Structure 1
Amino acid sequence: MNTAEIPTGRLIYGCMGLGGAWDAPGYTDDDVARAAAAIDAALAIGVELFDHADIYSMGKAEAVFGEVLAARPGLREKIRLQSKCGIRLWENGLNNYYDLSHASIMERVEGILARLRTGHLDTLLFHRPDPLLDRREAARAVSELLADGRIGAVGVSNMSAAQMEYLQDSLTVPIVANQLEMSLAVRDWVDSGVTVNHRQGAGNPFPHGTLEHCMGRGIELQAYGSLANGRYTGAVPADELDDAGRATAALVRELGEEFGVAPESVLLGWLMRHPAAISPVIGTTSPARIAACGDAVSVAARMDRLQWYRLWITARGEFIP
């Protein structure tokens, strides 16, 4: 297989940064305008899937997105929407807890649809594993939501292969996506596959086999934090990076010049070059930075094995076993 034939994922726009401050009681016209600008920038680079969660900006991220949809008839039909439920924040005297009960799923989806001003989600994700999960309850909620058209598919976030398999056994439809933190800075997902039976693998928190489980079953891997918070693209000053970080930032710039693209596209292209066909979630609200991601697919198609390994090993700061 040559590099042009390598399957790649798709770019997803993550709406976590929309809606203003999380502790603000409401949103402003400026927040709606900023959301509209980010949506337009994402559409301009070919994004079709927009990622939400009911907790993002305490619901305001979905609400400002809904304002944009309401102001633009026809836009909803041109895009795909997914949102997440399962985390409850600052309720009942707790900072947070998880709830994937039937009643909670149904209540949260109702709120999501109302804020987004849409009749359905293309995909509903369970945000985090709930230790008290009754998979039959969750499956019943999914079946009801599918039956009345409020959702089109179900996925998960932050789940291991074992957790997905356990849930899947009670579902009547396949899990279509798993959203995990994956980037050139957070490399546990790739390191876990090569540090088996080696000291470098000690303490790796990534559940080994999850990547292979998703690849083998056609479950889309969606990568949040994919831009590494600007660590290698200039947002973090060089003097705040360690030696490996500075070397990686320099290599990202070098490859960007070689490909004729922005550094952001190099970072995302590295993820998408993996045969898991990883779909990066772009979380920035800056239209310019969103635009800088627009060449990621072409970078993934052009990046060769040596370039991919150079980025990975340089970021690791030590040789692979």
Structure 2
Amino acid sequence: MQTILLGTSGMRVPTISVGCMRINELDKRAAETFVQTALDLGAYFFDHADIYGNGVCEKIFADAVHMNSAVREKIMLQSKCGIVPSKMYDSSKEHILASVDGILRRLKTDYLDVLLLHRPDALAEPEEVAEAFDQLHSSGKVRYFGVSNQNSMQMALLQKYLHQPLVVDQLQFGIAHAGMVSAGIHVNMEEDAADDRDGSVLDYCRLHDITIQPWSPFQYGFFEGAFLGNPKFPELNVKISEIAAGYGVSDTAIALAWILRHPAKMMPVVGTMNTERLAECVKAADIRLTREEWYDIYRAAGNTLP
């Protein structure tokens, strides 16, 4: 699979990240098969979070990959912390440090390649976050850091106190959730598509070499469902299928290729646990849509051009 640079880390990573939020839906043998298939496809960057399955997903993954020192050298691991389910967000130094220790224990590893703060914590003290990151970095427990679901100013404020660069921002993005792009196209227009809801986060990340990792790239709304094959998106599905036929790939591959065509060099996180669909996702890395095809898909999703 093709690779990209992850932010300013200097690490080259696969274009597609394997999300492990649903790995607890697989039995032991299926989980082993899935992880091995990902590795065979060159998808060796795995995305986790301490709340996925209340930590069970990380344990299942470690067992499925048969974690040991030799295996660890061949994969990249990213996890997230900061959500206390159904209660609060917690970016305190104490919580971050305890969370990472739990993550490492469950993943059976001594270090994470990347740690992300999962959601913006309204009570976060950036100086305290910086202390936690310093301790994790100096101890070798975390190599690089990032955030998830943060806007431009939230990252700028945090970065003011950090000694390590933020290399990732995980954001919801896809054909049917393209507000980051639409706001830039409809600049200064008096219409809904012009609403800047995230502080020009797309441009901010490009300016500061922060890799955007789109999550739920096949969803519309907030986990309302997938747009592929959905009768709510007839024109979009016709257009995607038409283009997919021309490239000899699945609709899934084209939906991801649309994201990858953007010059921001994003790294989609795909959450499928189906090995065949994962193989379709990986094919997207070898497809470069034409400018016309990209805009045809954009407009077919109901987006407009001023």
User: TM-score with structure 1 length normalisation?
Assistant: 0.86
**Aligned partners of 2:149 and 2:202: how far apart in 1?**
12
- Structure 2 SS opposite 1:122: strand
**Aligned partners of 1:208 and 1:146: how far apart in 2?**
29
**1:45 matched to which residue of 2?**
41
Conserved 8 A contact 1:193-1:208: no
**Aligned partners of 1:112 and 1:98: how far apart in 2?**
17
**2:128 matched to which residue of 1?**
137
Deviates more, 1:288-297 or 1:77-86: 288-297
Conserved 8 A contact 2:184-2:194: no
Map 1:59-70 to 2 at 5 A.
59-70=55-66
Q: Is structure 2 residue 15 aligned with structure 1 residue 10?
A: yes
State the 1:181 CA deviation.
0.3
Deviates more, 1:281-290 or 1:225-234: 225-234
**Aligned partners of 1:68 and 1:43: how far apart in 2?**
12
Q: Is structure 2 residue 245 aligned with structure 1 residue 257?
A: yes
Change (3 A) 1:171 1:290: same
State the 1:72 CA deviation.
6.4
State the 1:96 CA deviation.
2.6
Change (3 A) 1:75 1:227: farther
- Letter of the structure 1 residue corresponding to residue 64 of structure 2: V
Map 1:198-213 to 2 at 5 A.
198-201=189-192, 204=195, 206-213=197-204
Change (3 A) 1:250 1:176: same
Q: Is structure 2 residue 163 aligned with structure 1 residue 172?
A: yes
- Letter of the structure 2 residue corresponding to residue 157 of structure 1: S
**2:142 matched to which residue of 1?**
151
**Aligned partners of 2:87 and 2:36: how far apart in 1?**
33
- Letter of the structure 1 residue corresponding to residue 296 of structure 2: R
**1:231 matched to which residue of 2?**
226
State the 1:7 CA deviation.
9.8
RMSD: 2.1
Unaligned runs of 5+ in 2: 7-13
Conserved 8 A contact 2:206-2:264: yes
Q: Is structure 2 residue 91 aligned with structure 1 residue 106?
A: no
Conserved 8 A contact 1:252-1:263: yes
Conserved 8 A contact 1:268-1:280: yes
Conserved 8 A contact 1:35-1:64: yes
State the 1:58 CA deviation.
1.0
**1:283 matched to which residue of 2?**
271
**1:92 matched to which residue of 2?**
none
Conserved 8 A contact 1:168-1:175: yes
1:34 to 22, 25, 30: 30
- Letter of the structure 2 residue corresponding to residue 279 of structure 1: M
**Aligned partners of 2:16 and 2:197: how far apart in 1?**
23
Conserved 8 A contact 1:231-1:249: no
**Aligned partners of 1:40 and 1:79: how far apart in 2?**
11
State the 1:71 CA deviation.
5.7
Q: Is structure 2 residue 304 aligned with structure 1 residue 319?
A: yes
State the 1:76 CA deviation.
1.6
Could you list the per-position Cα deviations for residues 36-73 of structure 1 after superposition, in whole angstroms to 9, with x for gaps in the alignment?
A: 22212322322121000000111111010111233666
- Letter of the structure 2 residue corresponding to residue 15 of structure 1: C
- Structure 2 SS opposite 1:193: helix
Change (3 A) 1:205 1:96: farther
User: TM-score with structure 2 length normalisation?
Assistant: 0.90
Change (3 A) 1:249 1:7: farther
State the identity as a percent: 35
2:108 to 89, 107, 117: 117
Unaligned runs of 5+ in 1: 1-5, 21-29, 90-94
Length, aligned pairs only: 292
**Aligned partners of 1:118 and 1:85: how far apart in 2?**
16
**2:117 matched to which residue of 1?**
126
**Aligned partners of 1:148 and 1:172: how far apart in 2?**
14
**Aligned partners of 2:50 and 2:145: how far apart in 1?**
15
State the 1:208 CA deviation.
3.3
Change (3 A) 1:159 1:76: same
State the 1:194 CA deviation.
1.5
**Aligned partners of 2:303 and 2:101: how far apart in 1?**
49
Bigger relative contact order (CA 8 A; separation at least 6):
1
